[in-house]
Chain A
Amino acid sequence: MNLDVLDKIRNNYKIFKESYKLVKKTDLYEKVDVLNESKDMIEDLFIVEIFACLERFLRDKLEDCVDLEKCKFKREAVLNHLEYMKIEHILDSLKGIIDSDTIGFIKQIKSYRDWVAHGRNPEKPPPVRKIDFEKSFEVIKSVMEVLA
């Protein structure tokens, strides 16, 4: 996976933001809260997408490591398990390269993503909420750029 996918996500987000402004000008919605909430919910889906992108990127990077000549482990055996590795454990293995605060930050984005992806349980709010999509995007992008 190359980093071009990040530009695609950012462009899609820009289009969404611009469309959202146009919809607001149509007076289709009486209450500002209704539209603001829907904006927030759609932004959440972008969080799901950017996190999925990070996850794929990290697993691909691990696969690259297994492909290195000096790797003596049986390739298929390792790759079969790689897809099932918890993303939190993969993130922990990066602590020698990336500071633990940033890793913690990414894990918080993951826990927010889980809340969204598992149906936004109103009885159990997310442990932490996002600032906005752009700030989460920037942290994930920085991590991917370091590892690219």
Chain B
Amino acid sequence: MDKKVEAFLKKLEILFKQMEEFAKKYNLSWKYENLEIYEEYAGRYKTKELFFFKKGEFIFKIKPIGAYIIGADGRADMIGTLDSVVLVYLEKPYFMETKISIGNRENVVSSSKIPLYNGFKEPGWYISLEKKRIVPVIEENICRVLEDISEFRCSG
């Protein structure tokens, strides 16, 4: 199996376990369904979608999208009844570096190193928010997002 996909599937397991823990705390039930992903570099491979329910009613699901993602190391979507958000796995912080020089390349007049995402702390799953903002997939942020994408309130 493609090494990047192999790593992606392991990261998905981490995400699924984390979401199951969240579901236990808020009395949600869950089920897995098989999913096939087709990527140019990796070919076809099998994974799972994770669905969550409250008293039998669908609340949201986690749908893996792929391992080969522009500027990230994996993507899964969190899809609710009203909207969806993108979850990304980031192995490292990404930056854009610039150097402006006059005349020859040694004569650098300005340089900068701008992060491509605001909010990276350590390797892990992040919720992609507006502009450059990302926040880690933790209980507090999951609750905030669920209110927006499914009108589900953690407070009950």
Contact = CB atoms under 8 A, between A and B. Distances in A.
Nearest to B134: A135
Interface in B65-87: 65-66, 68-72, 75, 77, 79-84, 86
B104 to A, nearest CB: 10
Contacts of A21: 82-83
Interface residues of B, number: 40
Contacts, number: 101
What is the size category of the interface that chain A forms with chain B? 35 or more
Interface stretch (A55-63, A65-73, A137-145): A137-145
B79 A112 contact: no
Nearest to A138: B132
Interface centre among A24, A109, A138 (most CB of B within 10 A): A138
Interface string B85-99: 010100000111111
Interface in A22-69: 24-25, 32-33, 36, 39
Contact of A124 (B40, B117, B132): B40
Given A131-B70, A146-B112, 17 more contacts: A20-B83, A24-B81, A25-B82, A96-B99, A105-B116, A125-B39, A127-B41, A127-B68, A128-B69, A129-B70, A129-B75, A130-B69, A131-B71, A131-B128, A138-B116, A142-B96, A142-B116
